[in-house]
A and B are shown apart, each in its own frame.
Chain A
Amino acid sequence: MSHSTVPRSRAEAKTTDQQTAPGPAKKRAASGRRTGKISFRLRFRRDRTLILMTLPAIALILVFTYIPVLGNVVAFQDYDPYLSDNGFVAMFESPWVGFENFQRIFEDSAFWHAVQNTFVLFFLQLVLYFPIPILLALLINSVVRPRVRAVAQAIMYLPHFFSWVLVVTVFQQIFGGAGIIAQTLRQHGHKGIDLMTDPGIFKFLVTAEGVWKDAGWGIIVFLAALSSVSNDLYEAAAMDGAGRWRRMWHVTLPALRPVIALLLVLRVGDALTVGFEQLLLQRDSVGPGASEVLDTYVWWNGIRNQDFGYAAAAGLIKGIVGLGLVLTANKVAHLMGEQGVYKK
């Protein structure tokens, strides 16, 4: 990255000079360019359009991301929105309770149950879901006919663009009590089954839904890595007598290794987020015992039970632990010589 006080480019510096009003500013700029510095005023004049262009997005992010972060103070309050007409004013009138909300959370067995469900689902998805896009990418990559490849990719990408509501209702038509499996069983004189509402297998159902929706989309990253492998490597390996499988083991997989490592690390950094919308949609049908995770716990206590301070505290716990995980995961990525979410 070039140093921020250097003109953006020579041509730009020239035009800026021409546009500048006559007087000391121009002089300063002219001499400043020689020493590699331009005055703040001049830079502002040059870049004000660019800054203006960023403002709508910056304003939206400030209002809807940064301000709510400050709103987390309600976690330390017995917040009551009805103390005032406006929720914000109520924030100043609600009594402070210190860490009482956190204490209540840690004493709540439902919270620990949600923590447990979150981790079980995370590990299950890691073991059962993670390898599938890699295998699919290897499969697609071995198809050489362009049209077959394009059609296969189009089909596999499709469910990624479906809403969770659609994915859950589609699964309902297959595995639900009135789904095609139960229907066929009943027609052949068996008892119907409803796999959608069985808490025992719910975690596998959730993983299967995730695979159906996103495993196909996940192959994009791996396909890109595969297409960057030089054909010379394969040829050299073949010359040395490596067959199809040994070429895959010694050329293809090493090429995927950095991507796999990076995605794994990023996934771990995001471990506490295990499909909020997906689980919330099925919370009623399968019950909170099997489906409650940290995110839905926050929703239940805050939105449903209107216990805002308590729910905000639970959300804050998740946010802080999540931030720690992301930072740790990035640290690990850097140690492995990879680029994480941010650069070193």
Chain B
Amino acid sequence: MTAVIDKPAADFSGKPSRWAAPPRPAWEEEPSRAGLAGKGLALTLAALAILFPLWIVIVTSLQSRKTIDAAGGLVVIPRGITFVAYKELLTGGQVQRAPMVSLGVTLVGTLFSMAVSVLCAYGLSRIGSLGHRWLLMLLLATMFFGAGLIPTYLLVQALGLTDTYLALILPSAVSVFNILVLRSFFMGISPELIDSARIDGAGDWRILWTIVMPLSRAVLAVISLFYAVGYWSAWFNASIYLTDQDMMPLQNVMIQLVQKQERPVGLATQINTGQLSPLAIQMAVMVMALLPVAILSPFVQRHFKKGMLTGAVKG
């Protein structure tokens, strides 16, 4: 990494590489060698602090029992690759169901949350529409108080949602913050465009679907990612609203298997006979939890700034 940012490449022929530095303004002094080295070192350390733990987890999940035993536990330098831990996980019981449960809740929940939030944001995006101020107040007020854990818990119970997947979706389905971000993005779309569509006879549904949404792909991607990560990462609601162990999502299974070091149901024989390392199983569960997020978020990254800052705190 230090090598990359060491010397500015004076490449003026053709298209400059995105790795190269753009030309420096005349008034700016050339960076000192020590300064560059320090910067490179700081960046490398920060990156290592984040990536090294993930490296250990991923590598260990791909090792055979023999390698793991030889290393005395976690493996830093891989010796060969085996997918035996994943294979066993995906053929056995509770741990096989958990990723599917998480995937299902995440997909259904994100679609539902997005539909509800986009509709609400569009409905509130026309300043001066009937009830606009009152409805907005109703949303904004919730940023100052939470409902409280106990009354929410009692409500979910009273509604009969316990032991259903609805309990994992409905109570956290709308985020007022996300609605406000969407709304301020929608409000930035040129009103002339919307007015001309209206004159051509388009109703609000049509305007939303054919004009507003295609113009808002960036913010829709960011907010979808926020919702999806929220559902994928959630474990607390499942821990208080679900009692059936077979219904538990991946995060809750991870608490049992990795944090509390319990043996996975259905894999006991393979572990006891020495075919499988319990550690590899644990690491494989962690990889399953981190992989979708790690793959998705860089794609949405270039939109973060827009999505985060488009008047996020505007009233």
Binding site for B on A (CB under 8 A): 1-9, 11-12, 14-15, 40, 43-44, 46-54, 56-58, 60-72, 74, 81, 86-88, 91, 136, 139, 142-148, 150, 152-159, 161-166, 168-174, 178-180, 183, 186-187, 212, 216, 220-221, 223-224, 231, 234-235, 238-239, 243-244, 276-277, 280-281, 284-285, 295, 298-299, 302-303, 308, 311-312, 315-316, 319, 322-323, 326-327, 339-343
Contacts and interface: CB of A to CB of B under 8 A. Distances in A.
Most chain B beta-carbon neighbours within 10 Å: one of A158, A161, A180 = A161
Interface in B239-294: 240, 251-252, 254-255, 258-260, 283, 286, 289-290, 293-294
Contacts of A53: 119-120, 122-123, 204, 208
B21 A212 contact: no
Contacts of B19: 145, 147-148
A61 B138 contact: yes
Interface string B115-130: 1110110111011111
B90 interface: no
B53 A170 contact: yes
Contact of A50 (B74, B204, B236): B204
B133 A12 contact: no
Given A4-B132, A154-B298, A173-B56, A50 B122 contact: yes
Given A68-B147, A145-B4, A221 B198 contact: no
A302 B199 contact: no
Nearest to A4: B128
Given A69-B145, A168-B259, A61 B176 contact: yes
Given A212-B50, A220-B308, A56 B116 contact: yes
Contact of B53 (A143, A174, A327): A174
B74 A12 contact: no
B158 A87 contact: yes
A15 B92 CA distance: 62
Interface string B137-178: 011101111111111111101100000000000110110100
Nearest to B157: A87
Interface of B: 1, 4-5, 17-22, 24-25, 27-29, 35, 39, 42-43, 46-47, 49-51, 53-54, 56-57, 72-74, 76, 115-117, 119-120, 122-124, 126-133, 135, 138-140, 142-155, 157-158, 170-171, 173-174, 176, 179, 191, 195-196, 198-199, 203-205, 208, 225, 229, 232-236, 240, 251-252, 254-255, 258-260, 283, 286, 289-290, 293-294, 296-298, 301-302, 304-305, 308-309, 313, 315
A343 B315 contact: yes
Contacts of B286: 166, 169-170
Contacts of A147: 17-19
Contact of A161 (B157, B173, B297): B297
A52 B123 contact: yes
Given A164-B233, A165-B289, A281 B301 contact: no
Contacts of A1: 127
Looking at chain B's contact residues, is the secondary structure mostly helix, strand, loop, or mixed? helix
A143 B44 CA distance: 13
25 contacts: A2-B128, A8-B126, A47-B130, A50-B122, A50-B129, A51-B135, A57-B117, A60-B116, A61-B174, A69-B147, A70-B151, A72-B151, A74-B151, A88-B158, A173-B53, A174-B53, A179-B74, A183-B72, A186-B72, A187-B72, A212-B49, A220-B309, A277-B235, A323-B145, A342-B143
Contacts of A47: 126, 129-132
A285 to B, nearest CB: 8
Contacts of A40: 130
Contacts of A319: 145-146, 148
B145 A311 contact: no
A139 B5 contact: no
B130 A44 contact: yes
B171 A64 contact: yes
A188 B98 CA distance: 39
B25 A158 contact: no
B188 to A, nearest CB: 15
A170 to B, nearest CB: 5
Contacts of A235: 25, 27
Contacts of A163: 232-235, 251, 289
A49 to B, nearest CB: 4
A7 B129 CA distance: 8
